[in-house]
Structure 1
Amino acid sequence: MDSTSFLLLLYDRFLRLDVPLVLLGVFLFRLAGSKAYRLFIYPYFVSPLRHLPGPKNHHFLIGHTLNQFRSGHPNEPFVSWMRRWPKTPLIRYFDVGNADAVLVTSLEAHKEILHAKVYSFQKPPFFVRLIADIVGFGIGFAEGDEHKKQRRALAMKYPQECLPNSPVLFSTKNLEGFIPLLRSKASHLSHQLDDIIRTEGGVVDIVSLYSKITLDIMGQFAIGRELDELTGQSGGDNSLASMPFHACYRELFEPDGVGQLLIAINGVFPIRWLPLKANRRFNQAHKTLRSQIQAVIQERIRALDPDKTGAATAASINRGSVHHGSDENSNETKDLLSWMVSRKYYADGGNNHRDRWGEDEIRDQILTFLAAGHQTTADALTWATQLMIQHPAEAQRLRAEVVDLLRRCGTHPPSCRDIETLHYLHNFTREVLRVQCPGINVAREAIHDVVVQGVLIPKGTTVLMQPAIIHKNPTIWGADCDEFRPDRWDSLTPGSEAADPWAFAAFSHGPRICIGRAFSMLEFKVLLIELVSRFRFDGLGRNGRMAHEIKLVNPSPMLRPDGGLKVRVERAM
């Protein structure tokens, strides 16, 4: 058979084949080859990260995810890895699908990622799915130039020629305007604890108690309203459609075991569409919260419409129902919503439409501040109470300093300046946040190939940073880094890593540092002053266990006791 005949025979046989089936086979073969390459060849023989130190006990399909779930602690096994390789700036581990991931351990590497090359990274998709449903797509999820614009709008003062008389939203003067609110809520907390002492023998779940009070504070800060006033409309496929704001919020933040599992899975694979009871409750609570916030936004837009109310009426509204913040350049007061409506929705009288925010953008910012602002402070108070129980001498020392200030102030409530004079309180709060930092992960993903500490981080690589990695690092904080010792802040050696501002990572750093950190610390201190001056706490733990046996929610974006934390409270004076 000559070559021409052979080719004609092959062509004839090809025409007899089922071409779609052949094409499907080729596609599946290529897909299988690609997956095999990513799973078994690239990680071990090609990846530029293959020479980094890191753990090997992973599963080839889900990486170290199962190890993290089994650890019982949301900071593990990451802290253990850091202590195994304490001097390496980057540790390589495996994510789902044997994908490369990097744990950041050194201060210098943190500075590169969070400051020098901050916009070379973005929040990874799994983190967005895990968190954004709850906290909204506000400034926390803005990227690149959009993040810069939102940051300037919320934190900084515009040039006078662009926006005359614009306030600094988080200025000291504006925050001082919220001191009466904080004192009022702190007093309300005291009344609640007195009632519990009288009716329940002093046994209380501090997790739910603190969460409620800090959410109420953030409601006033964010929208100038009591959240108890907000209720949903009737209808929907379950009772959450007509439940108050707090009940819907608990559904999102404190789900049952099935709900927690679905949150974890949804971070890897989107499953909110599955017709499960826990999903239906989550989705309905999610919808109800947004509708409640949307209604408040629309009400405020009407109230602050400059064409209908005029500046005098708007100022009157700000001094009335919205009366907790202070405009730096006038006597008006501002909550976050009133500020955004007047400065961003109406965009300087409508002359600067490029900077205008719509209702959805304002709603997402409100949800972000409500979620991030209340839960971190509530958890900080929880761990402060636990640490006072475990360290009674430190608690007594803190109480003595606070009581002395209150005695000196007499009938005059402590001002911001008075509070800042409490040196031991300042050390105490920082040490609480160092030892038991409420925030767990700062996750990023490289948007292009980027070099960090001389190591090429390929595009798409997950980069994980945890405050605990810095706070629990013995090469930074010494061999006693796990101990609660507020006085360590007075003995930091100049020039040492512990004295570096980046060694305190509770609020992150760089352009994406927590924008509300000043308000959060002020709130934390005011509430703690109220608690330590009036009450003492004894440990019961959960279900009678001691405090050191607390079970934690895991996985979780926050360091939280699983099932709450019961303690016994009694009057101190």
Structure 2
Amino acid sequence: MSVFQMYGRWLDIIVILFVFLCAKASIRYVCYWRMMRQQGCQPSCKKAFVRDPFIGLDFAYDRLFQGSPARNLKGSFDMYKRLGATYTVNRLTTQTIYTCDAANIKRLLATSFDDYKLPAVRVCVMGDLLGPGIFTLNGHSWSNARSLLRPALRKERLCGLPNILESHMQSMLRQISFKGSSLDLQPLFFSLTMDIATEFLMGYSTNMLENPDGSAQQFVDDYMVCSTEAARKMTLGPLRFLRSNSAAKQSKTRVFKYIDSYIDECLKRMETRNLAVEHGNLLQELSSAIEDRQMLRDQVLHILLASRDTTASLLSNLFFVLARMPEVYAKLRREIVAAMGDSVPDFSQLRELQYLRWCINESLRLHPVIPSNAREAAQDTVLPVGGGPDGDSPLLVRRGTIVLYHVYSMHRDPAVYGNDVEEFRPERWDGLRPGWAFLPFSGGPRVCIGQQMALMESYYIVVRLVQAFERLEPTDYKPWSELFALATTCENGVHVKMHKA
């Protein structure tokens, strides 16, 4: 074969490939056009400015040389106020959609649930940290993982929670007495929720409050290193492979080692006590259904850290504000003391405390623990609003498009919450029914499986602390700022002075 014949064949292949790609693109364009026409879609007119609209060199430069930014909740909220509730970032080959519109978020999480999946970046980064589980799986694998956890978190299983809560609350009160009136509540909340979660879910508490320098504290410290690293990697998106952190890798190894040894200890204790699985805890449910030890560890890690992080962050954010608003704390205390004095509450009493519920809701509104999230379109689909000059028309979402939704900004919609959205005002919840405009625990099929446990635990802890202390005052007057991690809490802690009742 001559050189010219060889070049001729390669040219034929290139031409055929070019024609094939053009034909494929044309077919896709016709499909998009038909779908837009059928659904009444219009292109987005709300677009964020990008310095490089072609291949995204500006994004790469910012992430690699300016450092991975924090979540910057206020900055994101300002963008929505400037551009509208739904806007896009367009480049030559990709489009990313940003939204804080309740109708769009409902479509993402519920009514068009099967049209979306977890983004590849989240699956990769979170999977590397936690292994496969409810927070990293899609489709049938996710359904199977969730079905394993659901029986152990049924409402009837919560009947044993009050005794566990009271036991560990007494440990926390002893720690507060030991540390004196001026202290940082945040680490105590994280130790408390870890102790409660491990005893309730696994049957054996880590007892971090009583043993603050033990292996459990090392586990928590290591997990925070891994959590921060995971958050930073997710901001890098497709460039995440360029980041390497040897300290985080060592921490992850210790996290897995601790969970493995912890599971061994829990199973040994259960075997010694000869407890029946049908009356047991989450670990017994999982160990009877999962033979693979690594898979068991992954499921335990997912649910354990989820139940700990969310509740501790909620409590920290709430008491950060209560210390700065003595009138709200006094009103909350009056309600609690009038209803039950200083007696140990039961769950039925907690549900009747209206102002307590308003305070919890207002904290979750102002500082949602998971303030932003994302989905990736698994197929061509449509969002109900975001297209056209006014943003009120449907918007086409092409397969592979990332849709980032911002709960933090949605919780600041003046049309729902009034013009004082930056104020902590529990009274706004009197008669307020925000529906999908309030999503502290997500929504749709992926709604938080431990929501009832988290709320009852939070109610109980708040009541016992308010009963024990007549008033709070801050000892650090820095404004609230977000901690750069997977769950949002106070970057500078919750430094307060507590005055006993």
**What is the rounded CA distance, in whole Å, between the counterparts of 2:301 and 2:57 in structure 1?**
32
C-alpha distance in 2 between matches for 1:266 and 1:227: 35
Q: Secondary structure at the match of 2:498?
A: strand
2:227 aligned with 1:248: no
Structure 1 position 465 matched with structure 2 position 405: yes
- Cα drift, residue 416 of structure 1: 0.7
Q: 1:143 aligned to 2:143?
A: no
AA matched with 1:185: H
CA drift of 1:538 comes to: 1.8
Q: Is the 8 A contact 1:540 1:568 kept in 2?
A: yes
Query: 2-side partners of 1:280 and 1:476: how far apart?
Result: 46
Contact 2:118 2:137 in 1 (8 A): no
CA distance in 2, matches of 1:64, 1:12: 44
Letter in 1 for 2:274: T
Q: Counterpart of 1:132 in structure 2: which amino acid? A: G
**What is the alpha-carbon distance in structure 1 between the residues aligned to residue 68 and residue 219 of structure 2?**
29
Q: Which of 269, 283, 286 matches 2:239?
A: 269
Q: 1:470–1:476: 8 Å Cα contact kept in structure 2? A: no
Deviations 1:269-306 (A, max 9, x none): 344984xxxx333222212222332344456567778x
Judged with a 3 Å threshold, the aligned counterparts in structure 2 of structure 1 residues 557 and 64 are, in CA distance, closer, same or farther, namely farther
Relative distance call for 1:94 and 1:51 in structure 2 (3 A) is: closer
1:567 paired residue among 492, 495, 500? 495
| AA in 1 matched with 2:474 | G
2-structure distance, mates of 1:124, 1:246: 32
**Does structure 1 residue 282 correspond to structure 2 residue 210?**
no
1:51-75 C-alpha deviation (Å, 9 max, x unpaired): 3413214554256684997876532
Partner of 1:487: 427
Q: Which residue of 1 aligns with 2:204?
A: 225
Determine the structure 2 residue equivalent to 1:105. Answer: 100
* Other structure's SS at 1:54 match: coil
Q: SS state of the match for residue 178, structure 1?
A: helix
Q: Which residue of 1 aligns with 2:72?
A: 74
Structure 2, unmatched stretches of 5+, are 26-35, 385-393
Pairwise mapping of residues 158-173 of structure 1 onto structure 2 (< 5 A)?
A: 168-173=151-156
Number of aligned residues:
461
Q: Give yes or no for the alignment of 1:195 onto 2:178.
A: yes
SS across alignment from 1:362: helix
Distance 2:227 2:448 in 1: 29
CA distance, structure 1, for counterparts of residue 4 and residue 498 of structure 2: 90
User: What SS does the corresponding residue of 2:473 show, helix, strand or coil?
Assistant: strand
Provide the rounded CA distance (Å) in 1 between the counterparts of 2:104 and 2:235.
30
Aligned to 1:314: 275
Corresponding residue for residue 40 of structure 1? none
Stretches (4+) displaced over 6 A: 67-71, 302-305
CA distance in 2, matches of 1:139, 1:106: 25
Q: Tell me which of the two structures has the higher relative contact order, counting C-alpha pairs closer than 8 angstroms and 6 or more residues apart.
A: 2
Identity of aligned residues (%): 21
Q: 1:425 to 1:444 in 2, by over 3 A?
A: same
Tell me how far 1:515 sits from its aligned partner: 0.4
For 1:498-517, what aligned pairs fall within 5 Å after superposition? 499-517=433-451
Residues 124 and 443, structure 1, Cα contact 8 Å, conserved in 2: yes
Superposed displacement of residue 76, structure 1 = 4.3
Query: What is the identity, as a one-letter code, of the residue corresponding to 2:44?
Result: H
- Taking structure 1 as reference, are residues 77 and 570 closer, same or farther at Cα in structure 2, changes over 3 Å only? closer
- Among 287, 298, 319, the alignment partner of 1:341 is 287
Amino acid aligned to 2:427: D
Would the aligned equivalents of 2:226 and 2:252 in 1 still touch at CA under 8 Å? no
The corresponding residue for 1:53 is 46
CA distance in 2, matches of 1:490, 1:69: 43
The whole-number CA distance in structure 1 between the counterparts of 2:205 and 2:236 is 32
The 2-side partners of 1:464 and 1:503 are apart by 16
Q: Over aligned residues, Cα RMSD in angstroms?
A: 3.7
> What is the TM-score with the length of structure 2 in the denominator?
0.80
2:169·2:464 contact (CA, 8 Å) conserved in 1? Answer: yes
Q: Distance in 2 between matches of 1:228 and 1:272?
A: 39
**TM-score scaled by length of structure 1:** 0.71
Contact residue 43 and residue 395 of structure 2 kept, 8 A = no
Q: Which has the larger radius of gyration?
A: 1
TM-superposed CA distance for 1:468, in Å, is 1.0
Report the CA distance between 1:183 and its aligned residue.
1.4
